[in-house]
Amino acid sequence: MHNRSAFFRVAALFLIAAAPPLCLAVDTHVWEQSDQAEFARGTPKNVSIRSDGRVTLAPEFKELDSTNVPYLWAIAQDSKGALYYAGGAPTGATAKVFVLPRNGKPKVVAEITGLEIHALAIDSQDRVYAAVLPDAKIYRIDKSGKPQLFFDPKCKYVWAMAFDHSGNLFVATGDSGLIYRVSPDGKGSKFFDTEETHARSMIIDNAGNLIVGTEPSGLVMRITPKGESFVLYQTNKREVTSVAEHDGLIYAASVGSKAVSVSVTGPAPVLPSPTAPVTPTGAPHAGTTPPSLPPAVGSLSAAVPGGSDFYRIQKDGFAERIWNSSSDLIYAIGFDSSGRPLLGTGNKGVVYRIDSDQLSTQLLNAPPTQVTAFLQGKNGMVYAASGNVGNLYSIGPNLENTGTIESEVLDANEFAHWGKAHIRSSLNGGMIALDTRSGNLNNPENNWSPWAKVSLGDLGGQIESPPARFLQYRLTLTRSHGGDSPELSTVDIAYLPRNIAPRIHEIEIAPFNYRQAPSTASLERSVMASGSPATLTLPAIGQKRSSSSSTLSEASSSATLQYSKGYVTVRWSASDPNNDPLIYKVEIRDKNDSLWRTLKDKLQDHYYSFDSTAFPDGRYIVRVTASDAPGNTPADTLTCSLQSEPFTIDNTPPELTVISITKDGPLRVVRFSAKDALSWIDKAEYSIDGGEWTLLEPVNKVTDSKMLEYQASGQAGQIVSVRVFDEDDNVVVKQFALN
């Protein structure tokens, strides 16, 4: 152990605690939830959450039909108010068209060989047209329910269909990106080539123009009845999944990063063995819920990178993004009865409403994971289709009677007592109830306390759940007799974690003769002789310092010490589970004594340097005690102590003893021993008649003990000076006359 730079250290007795909330433990902590993201991290049911954090009841979301297909992709309505909706399964044998008569029960209209139906259209005679894919074909379903092949575009995909005022059917396709125009007698021809892989979405605006969204360039195009095109906007995304028009404004949704290919329009799946090409049926269908399946052809995988954007294009052509999400993927655009845009998304089944350029609302959460299509019915009702599973719903116009939010779980980090809960709200004739439950497992479903009502008043309400580490609240909103919703903006939960003792993780004794650099300090002369560096940069506590360098690159977590003979520096790492501020007391005792002597008390730093020359040479132990007194009352103050490993204080130089002076021809050879009581001998040097100092090596060649022998030689009559250092830079100098 020749190099004193090896550190004495003690392993931590405690693990580092998890980071607590950023406030002092002596203070009451307040858990506040007031923005959309915080409320949405819980489990909202039948409530809407606006982007500014306002929580209200959601519009009624009624299930009208639970089909036996995993995905529904299209909705249409005839002149009598009957709803048609269609979809299929990525692994099925047939795609299905369903109908819900205005005052009837849902049933299957037709089953067509293929996987899925992505587009429906209804002509002026209430005949239904369905496009099946892959190997896309368009079938017309007459009033008797019999589907017949109407048009074969000879492509893989039909993504959208729309009739103009003349009864011509426009068909948007992929994988060629062509748009066909089909006359009422089923004769079709190429109308326009988008020069894209997919004409992914399409509508006809009030002026009779086609509005088309493409993939992979993410274009929004306007195509006149004469086939003249103009790109309204090039989005930042790869695929325009939906376009819509309202009051002369164009809306478009785009998804997916252009840098990564989106698997929305990939190769056609292999069809199962064909059965009869067309199977008409009018039998009611079973309402069983199918198992969750992978995304269908044309569906958006949860792994699609880039999120989604929502754009509005003004009548003068000015386009701007008014909503975006990094995770939710827009499948469909609709409008509520007030003309506000609705966004159907996946893969969490959220419907968003765009209230203004500044505000949007997480309107509702559908039980299925994708909302794939909207229709604003002739009666003003809004209808929605879903995927995974394929259901048909109505939205509004009334609000839900009640709605709830079960919050995310509060982790107080330690055992805590619960105080009062406060909410900020406007009841509007309705009611808001608050319940809480607590437990010591992070899963609230396992062995937690039952829900306990909080009796809210003007000054809040006391939480009755038992003290524990975790807490969850549940809000219940109830509408007024007049149908109005209460509105909530903030929930505050007060709690006080139990005080936990601070923790000292590790103590280190820095190399001897170094201290925390004072503001003004002079370099001692012995530095040059001993070879010790003027400054020493230590690594973060607990890490090893390189023995070949006195500096370390990780200066941000290091400590710089300055050479100062006789000084000892102690440093330590500590933390407080409650994030209390800490003060420290540093004590010292002789290893063989039981009496602790205080070096420094009420210290705020994580280090302390002291002059060891005030102590006799020997082996010592330092004790550091951490106290959280600055953050607690005297009755609640807690402490923790940790002792260092024994270390050496040695301020006495080695002893030199002449063993012999012998003749060797004209030379005289001095043989001497160097001995130190506590430290290893570090090095020896000699000088002839005051000349340069020259390093001496031990007789046994190895510097490895507290006593070593050396020899030096010179001419008769010369004076030989020798000096010897121990590893603590204590030095002895002696002269010999070579007579």
Angle at 195 between CA 193 and CA 199, to 5 degrees: 70
pLDDT of residue 692: 95
Cα 88 from Cα 71, distance rounded (Å): 6
Instruction: Give 143-189 pLDDT, tens digit per residue.
Output: 777 899 999 999 999 999 999 999 999 999 999 999 999 999 999 99
Domain boundary among 454, 482, 497: 497
pLDDT of residue 308: 97
- Tokens 């500096």 label which residue? 551
Peptide bond into 533 cis (omega under 30): no
Q: What integer is the mean pLDDT of 221-229?
A: 97
CATH of the domain at 378: 2.130.10.10
Same domain, residue pair 197 and 231: yes
Q: In this structure, is residue 384 part of a structural domain?
A: yes
Domain of 36?
29-57+403-497
Say if residue 228 is exposed, middle or buried (CB neighbours under 10 Å; 0-12, 13-18, 19+).
Answer: exposed
pLDDT above 90: residue 596: yes
Domain boundary among 333, 367, 399: 399
Same domain, residue pair 320 and 379: yes
Q: In this structure, is residue 1 part of a structural domain?
A: no
Give percent of the chain above pLDDT 70: 86
pLDDT of residue 281: 38
Q: In this structure, is residue 42 part of a structural domain?
A: yes
CATH of the domain at 672: 2.60.40.650
Q: What integer is the mean pLDDT of 494-502?
A: 93
Say if residue 52 is exposed, middle or buried (CB neighbours under 10 Å; 0-12, 13-18, 19+).
Answer: middle
* DSSP string covering 446-496: SSPPPPEEE--BTTBEE--SPSEEEEEEEEEEE--TTSPPPEEEEEEEEEE
Q: What are phi and psi of 343, to 5 degrees?
A: -120, 120
pLDDT of residue 379: 83
Task: Please tell me the pTM assigned to this model.
Answer: 0.73
Q: In this structure, is residue 3 part of a structural domain?
A: no
Instruction: Give 388-447 pLDDT, tens digit per residue.
Output: 999 999 999 999 999 999 999 999 988 999 999 999 999 999 999 999 999 999 999 889
Cα 263 from Cα 217, distance rounded (Å): 14
Average predicted confidence (pLDDT) for the chain: 87
Same domain, residue pair 110 and 215: yes
pLDDT above 70: residue 374: yes
With cut-offs at 50, 70 and 90, classify the pLDDT of residue 547. Answer: very low
Same domain, residue pair 524 and 461: no
CATH of the domain at 609: 2.60.40.10
Same domain, residue pair 375 and 309: yes
pLDDT of residue 560: 86
Residue 646: DSSP 8-state: P
Structure tokens at 583: 């003060």
Q: In this structure, is residue 2 part of a structural domain?
A: no
Same domain, residue pair 157 and 141: yes
Same domain, residue pair 39 and 155: no
Same domain, residue pair 228 and 188: yes
pLDDT of residue 104: 92
With cut-offs at 50, 70 and 90, classify the pLDDT of residue 303. Answer: low
Q: In this structure, is residue 320 part of a structural domain?
A: yes
Q: What integer is the mean pLDDT of 532-540?
A: 75
Domain boundary among 399, 427, 443: 399
Same domain, residue pair 726 and 714: yes
The structural domain count of the chain equals 4
pLDDT above 50: residue 237: yes
Same domain, residue pair 359 and 449: no
Same domain, residue pair 554 and 458: no
Instruction: Give 176-202 pLDDT, tens digit per residue.
Output: 999 999 999 999 999 999 999 999 999
pLDDT of residue 364: 97
pLDDT of residue 300: 46
Q: In this structure, is residue 87 part of a structural domain?
A: yes
CATH of the domain at 421: 2.60.120
Cα 377 from Cα 534, distance rounded (Å): 84
Residues 77/378, Cβ–Cβ less than 8 Å:
yes
Q: In this structure, is residue 709 part of a structural domain?
A: yes
Same domain, residue pair 383 and 266: yes
With cut-offs at 50, 70 and 90, classify the pLDDT of residue 261. Answer: low
Structure tokens at 218: 């993410």
**How many CB atoms neighbour CB 201 within 10 A?**
26
